Structure 1
Amino acid sequence: MQLTSAPLVAWGNAWLSGHVGLDDAVDAVERRGGPNLIGTVPADDLPFDSGAPLRTALVRLRGLDLSVFRLALPTWGDPFGLVGPKELNQAALEAQEGVLLQLADTQIGLVPTADRRGSSYAGVSWTPYRATNTPPQIPGLAEAEQRLKLALIEAGRTLEGITDIAGFEPGVHEELGTLEAHQAPPLAHGYPPRAHRLAAQAERLARVIALAGPASGRGMTGGQAEERRRALHTLDMAVRRAHVAAHAAI
């Protein structure tokens, strides 16, 4: 699960809570995704022109009493972390991620897209949307941790004995190890150790789910393939909730 939104939420919250400076937060976000540009919404809801650099946008948003960054990781059939309206939800569902910014008297949603220009420029473009001014329902660390544990146990029991249990192609285990070796910590300074552990576990399991991919079908009945799909889907839901809970725990 290569999330564009997660670094902005983690380092944005670390900046707002005084654990890192603005320059360090922006550098950390852009080190992972390249230059970040934030657009504007109609009716001058944000005090900058379309395509403002991240540093400029954050300073001006702070002037609007920006108080928290919230991570949203929705998927079709499970709009987790979203609050509406329809336009924001649709865009975030297509991207399968987004960020909610709580300002003094309103909430703004940001949805990322890859910003590529030519062969050498790669960054992130954020499209803002008006968001319903209601906090999303986010589980606490303990609840998310327990749900992830139960989903992992259930997946293990369901998949036990099914041929082609993981659906991995040759060499995927080595690829997963390489990814982990070069993985930056999911969270920023200031988050509690329990949140760091949960985020790291969720990140690992998200990569396992992604690398598992669709079952090849070799040696499995149609019923076994469906059981496998459901087990991985349930685990994915728990992983996304763990990610969001960890990123909210500061």
Structure 2
Amino acid sequence: MSNDVATALVAWGNAWLTGHVGLDESVDAMERIAGPQILGGVPAAAAFGGAPPGGPEVPLRRGLGELRVAGMTALRLALPAPGDPLGLTGPPGFTMAAIDAGAAVVVAMPDRAIGLVPVEDRRGSSYVGVRWDVHDAAPAPPDVPSLADADRQLTLAMRDATEVLLTVDDVSAAPPGIAEALVDLRDPDRADHPLAPGYPSRAHRVAALAGRLALVVDLARRLEDRGLTADQVQRRSEAFRLLDRAVRRALVAACNSAFDPVP
């Protein structure tokens, strides 16, 4: 859930900031993907340094509008994991919250940044949405790969993981969907397109491939170790660890490419 909702906020938020969609269309798309959303805190006041995060909640549409008035220039995706704070530069409180959630969004301002961390928001017996907790964030740009580098890394990791899986596992006994996902990864008619209007075509392709490989990684985690040697277990674990790392970098690079120069 965290990856999808954070990817949607960055992709559609940047599409709005670059003038390719309106605010209403952008928020409608985000909420179709992840359900109703609110921002915790007072975004505009926090952006100006006039109030700390943690104030009254506001609907996502209003919060984004206030952030833009306050000077928001871009949204950046972070997909951290333990030991790999991808897309983050601190401070520690924001980093720890983002790692716990597995995703975060950094709001770039002219002279500072705000961190948004998604958490499940349940109210009553039927309401399930997303609350974006607001944190102070370091304004320094994160060390993330370019779209071209992430594309190359993803292709290599996919090749290596596929080779390992097909040599150490009985794919016919794998969880439903994993063999199909591996065979059909490059079928354009079956690819999802998680980005929004205005992104480079390469970003759409990389994000679509990364999204489907994320499913492979998730399914691979359910494979049993029975019948495998210790070396095979280690090889499989390392291959999918590297694939997960490449998938997260590809999604971050794709989502953050909205403002890249057009080649």
With the length of structure 2 as denominator, give the TM-score of the two structures: 0.86
- 1:31–1:184: structure 2 CA closer, same or farther, 3 Å change rule? farther
- 1:182–1:116: structure 2 CA closer, same or farther, 3 Å change rule? farther
1:66–1:104: 8 Å Cα contact kept in structure 2? Answer: yes
Structure 1 residue 171: Cα displacement: 6.0
Matches of 2:59 and 2:85, distance apart in 1: 29
1:147 aligns with 2:153: yes
1:206 equivalent in structure 2: 214
1:224 aligns with 2:232: yes
Aligned-residue CA RMSD (Å): 2.6
Counterpart secondary structure, 1:9: helix
1:163–1:218: 8 Å Cα contact kept in structure 2? Answer: no
210-219 or 121-130, which moves further after superposition?
210-219
Matches of 1:184 and 1:204, distance apart in 2: 8
1:102 equivalent in structure 2: 108
Q: Which amino acid aligns with 2:8?
A: P
1:23 equivalent in structure 2: 24
2:178–2:216: 8 Å Cα contact kept in structure 1? Answer: no
2:40 equivalent in structure 1: 39
Match among 225, 239, 250 for residue 242 of structure 1: 250
2:261 equivalent in structure 1: none
The 5 A counterparts of 1:45-64 are: 45-46=46-47, 49-64=55-70
1:167–1:212: 8 Å Cα contact kept in structure 2? Answer: no
List runs of 5+ in structure 2 lacking aligned partners.
Answer: 259-263
Matches of 2:173 and 2:142, distance apart in 1: 35
List runs of 5+ in structure 1 lacking aligned partners.
Answer: none
Q: Deviations over 1:173-227 (max 9, x none)?
A: 57999xx999862000101111100000000000111012243112201221111
Counterpart secondary structure, 1:138: coil
1:167–1:213: 8 Å Cα contact kept in structure 2? Answer: no
- 1:175–1:227: structure 2 CA closer, same or farther, 3 Å change rule? closer
The 5 A counterparts of 1:42-191 are: 44-46=45-47, 49-164=55-170, 168-170=174-176, 185-191=193-199
- 1:149–1:182: structure 2 CA closer, same or farther, 3 Å change rule? closer
Q: Deviations over 1:37-89 (max 9, x none)?
A: 101179x5247952100111111111111000000000011111111000000
With the length of structure 1 as denominator, give the TM-score of the two structures: 0.90
Matches of 1:98 and 1:71, distance apart in 2: 6
The count of residues paired between Structure 1 and Structure 2 equals: 247
1:64–1:104: 8 Å Cα contact kept in structure 2? Answer: no
1:194 aligns with 2:195: no
Percent of pairs with identical residues: 47
Counterpart secondary structure, 2:168: coil
Matches of 1:157 and 1:16, distance apart in 2: 41
Matches of 2:207 and 2:12, distance apart in 1: 14
156-165 or 48-57, which moves further after superposition?
156-165
- 1:4–1:85: structure 2 CA closer, same or farther, 3 Å change rule? same
